[in-house]
Amino acid sequence: MDERSVLTDRVALITGGSRGIGRGITLALADAGAAVAVNYRSRSDEADTTVAEIEKAGGRAIAVRADVAVRAEVEAMAERVAAELGPIDVLVNNAGIATIRSVDDITEEDFDQTLAINLKSAFLCTQAVVPGMRKRGWGRIVNISSVAARGGGAVGVHYNASKAGLEGLTRGYAARLAAEGITVNAVAPGLIDTEMATPLKESGVADRLPVGRIGTPDEIGQAVRMIVGNGFLTGQTVAVNGGGSFL
């Protein structure tokens, strides 16, 4: 499989693509030849830095601000990407939050905010790009889930629910879009070395993993690139967790 031949002249939108796992995915897809739209909600300097790095390497990229939990902003973002880069062929729903809360401390606001950003955003972005993918008969959608979708996790029940819902969304869309040339899959990272995971890094989880370390954003990027390059893979969740599934 040659991901570069698949992605050459394709346009990819990565939500939350300016830092952490999103940045790793953005750089991996750009390196494989895709023009990339780097979505961010705040911290525009990080998005601009990511775009500059891609352009320096000879790629095409733009930074586009949008709150992906708001339909109007999602639709405006999709229109801008299409106008500046071309129709969106690849969507990576990566934007998310992981606010640590105990069972006793979690609030209704925590729950609603987490589901809006981690789950509703994937629905809104998918709905925005599917009509164009259908028209062209080709599309790739990858949702970034978590080991917490199928395990206890360390963030909270609100996070578990959002990621389990994301995997259900993945399978539902995959079943309905496969015949139209659109694949929909998920990647479920374990603990990855990002700012979001800082509170969990000192938990000793790395010592319990078979590989003996936590993962890196570029390793998640590699997994997404592999999925995008495989037209026979759909409705699946690929676990990238250093062997944590064996524990």
Q: Which distant-in-sequence residues (6+ apart) come within 8 Å of 30 by Cβ?
A: 36, 54, 57, 59, 61
How many angstroms separate the Cα of 110 from the Cα of each of 143, 159, 198?
A: 21, 9, 19
Q: Catalytic: 173?
A: no
Inter-helix orientation angle 157-177/121-136, to 10°: 10
Distance, CA of 85 to CA of 207 (rounded, Å): 44
18-43: buried (b, 16+ CB within 10 Å) or exposed (e) per residue? bbbbbbbbbbbbbbbbbbbbbbbbee
Distance, CA of 12 to CA of 58 (rounded, Å): 16
Q: Which of 162, 127, 153 is nearest to 141 (CA)?
A: 127
Catalytic residue (choose from 26, 126, 130, 159): 159
Rg (CA), the chain: 17
3-state secondary structure of 151: coil
- Active-site residues, by number, are 159
